[in-house]
Structures are given as structure tokens and as C-alpha cells.
Amino acid sequence: MPRFLSRRDKLRRAVRRNSADALLVTNFTNVTYLTGFTGDDSYLLVGAKQDLLISDSRYTEQIEEECPELNVHERPIAESMLQAVANATAAAKIGALGVEGSSMTVELHEHLGKELPKTTLVSTIGLVEALREIKDKEEIAELQEAVRLAEKAFEVIRASLRPEQTEREIAANIEHQIRQFGGEGCSFPPIVAVGSRAALPHAQPTERRIGESEFVLIDWGAQARLYRSDLTRVLMTGKISPKVRDIYRVVLKANRAGIDAVRPGVLMSEVDAAARCVIEKAGYGKQFGHGLGHGIGLDIHEAPRLNSTSKRPLKPGMVVTVEPGIYLPGIGGVRIEDDVLVTRAGKKVLTTSPKDLDACCVS
């Protein structure tokens, strides 16, 4: 069975469990996951027996190329998306229509309700996202390629690092290198933070130069085709202060403890706790204010989440980041991030970029 049809069949079963006859998929990324279609401005109606992609003439050839087996309603210019959805729902005689509560606007929900007075709208949360948590072989291969591209680009950046380079210049160079190696580009705007600016977990690159401090934090990732990687490394560009050396040692230990805890059946909160305990015992618990990690895939942040409130078990096929950090205002921050696949036997660390302190010294 083709992979996209298999995904939609799994979704059909979940829709029935939510007491709906069909699901209107309005999240464009979810549409891509279920069909292989990479355009936007298109919805997917997943019915009990038949599926319908609702799009327009801009995507005629693209749909034929990417998902030729799919039934398509190509709406004319005079027909709005709302009208197209209402007409397709009425034609299919859908009594209870599931909608994606996380992506459908209140306005669309209200208007759709008015257009379909005989149809009950059933709000659902995370039905497709739950399927996306478990990656198949093709997805894992694409994620591995995304990691490979990111690491190759980083090797070039590291080898060419100069004191006069700015954070902004390095961020642009990462994007350039990923494309040079054949990737689609960065998974997200890279974080490049020199010295004290590394205390900002989501620092925006500025004109600050590498030579202005003894270290730089780089958080980056590559998009291979559709899938995305996410890594963080800290490079030491000068004489390391005792404080930075200490927090690096603690974060690296926490990173390894978190990775060691990853295996099927372990609660996500327990993986978070394994790394967090290391940081808390070192006296930096208050300086680690975010969850340990998150899923990666079609989106750079997706389910599952590794944090203290995630009481679900890890399952084979999940791919998560493990990224503990310590952030000290006025001094800087250290975060070390790896991408980890949960396997039936335990885990596989997809990232290979060196992270021992000695290996991260480039001065």
C-alpha cells in the first residue's frame, strides 16, 4: 500500500474514534504529510472511503506530478475555499465533520457552520500530528540526510572562522553552505550568539564579531527535501574562562545523561529529568528554563516534547532533540543539542559533530 494512502487510512480510524465521519485537514504541513503535495492554499477532506484535495488551478501540474492518484476538486476563481469545502461536504453527505482545532481559525469555523447547518463540526486536536510522531524508513533517511547536510556546512563554517566575522555573516554563510551541498536551505533562521549574547536561548544574529569573546554558540539545521535537522554546538575561539569551562562541562554531562535515558517505554518526563538533575545538582537548575527537547520532522518543532509534564512513553520511530542548556546573563550560555532516533533496541544518535570541549576549541 502506498505510504500516503496508508497514512490516510490510519487517520480514518482516528477520525472514527473521535465520532466524526470525515476530517477537514487545513494545516498545510499535515496536507503534505498525508498526500505528498507540497503546495499551500489547499485543504484535504479525508472521508470514510474517499479523499478529496481541494485546490486551485495554480497547482494543477504540481498535483499531477506529486500525487496523481488523489481525487482533486480544482475550484474556479469564482468559488471561495469556504464554498468549495461546504459543497464537497454536502455532496459527500457528511453528518459530522472533524476539523483541526489547532489550525482552523475561529472565523472559518463560524462561517463553515453557517454554510453547513445540517452538519455537526467536531473539533479535534493533534490527530495527524500523532501519526507524524512515528517516522517511517523514508522519513528517517531524509532526516539523516538533513543532519549530514547540516554537519557538512558546519565543518566549513568552523574551518573558516575568523575573528572579524559577525554573527550575521556566519548565519548567512550557513545557509549558503547548506545550499551548496544540495539542501533546500536552513531548517530555521540560525542562532549565532557570541559571548554574553549566548545567554539568550533564541538570540538573533547581530553585527557582533567572533573576536569579541572567547566562545560562540551556533544553533542551526538543514532542510534536506522536506525534513529538518536541529543541532547546537559551542565553539571556543579564545582562552576559556573557568566559569564557561564549568558550565560547558555540566551541560555536556547533562546532554549525555539525557541521551543515555532515551529508549522505548521511558516516559518523556524521565528523559528530561535525567538531564535536568545533572544541571540542578551543579547548582544551575534555575538557569535551565526550557524543556529538554522536541520532535523534528516536517516542522522544526513538532510532537513529541521532552519536558517535565510529558508523561507519555517514547516509541520506536520517534526522533527527538536532546538540548540541555545553562544561561547566565552577562556571562553567556552553553547549549549542546543532538538529534536522536528511538529504535526498538534503544536509540541511535543521528548527529556526529564533535562536542568534547577540546574538540570544540578552534583558537
Does residue 363 have a pLDDT over 80? no
CATH class of 137-360: alpha beta
Q: The pTM is what?
A: 0.95
For the CA atoms of 170, 236, 218, 326, the dihedral, rounded to the nearest 10 degrees, stands at -150
Dihedral pair phi/psi, residue 83, rounded to 5°: -65, -40
- Which triple of cell numbers denotes residue 164? 572579524
The model's pLDDT over 16-33, given as tens digits with 9 standing for 90+, comes to 999 999 999 999 999 999
71: β partners:
52
Mean pLDDT of 204-210: 98
From-to residues of CATH 3.90.230.10 in the chain: 137-360
Taking the CA of residue 215 as centre, how many other CA atoms within 13 Å lie in the half-sphere pointing to its CB? 29
3-state secondary structure of 247: helix
**Do 99 and 269 meet the contact criterion of CB atoms below 8 Å apart?**
no
Q: What is the pLDDT of residue 358?
A: 94
The model's pLDDT over 169-201, given as tens digits with 9 standing for 90+, comes to 999 999 999 999 999 999 999 999 999 999 999
The model's pLDDT over 60-99, given as tens digits with 9 standing for 90+, comes to 999 999 999 999 999 999 999 999 999 999 999 999 999 9
From-to residues of CATH 3.40.350.10 in the chain: 3-132
How does DSSP assign 165-177, residue by residue?
-BHHHHHHHHHHH
How does DSSP assign 9-78, residue by residue?
HHHHHHHHHTT-SEEEE--HHHHHHHH----SS-EEEE-SS-EEEEEEGGGHHHHHHH-TTSEEEEE-TT
Using CA atoms, how far residue 248 sits from 45, 225, 252, 274, 327, in Å, is 50, 33, 6, 17, 11
The model's pLDDT over 234-286, given as tens digits with 9 standing for 90+, comes to 999 999 999 999 999 999 999 999 999 999 999 999 999 999 999 999 999 99
CATH class of 3-132: alpha beta
Amino acid letter, 220: W
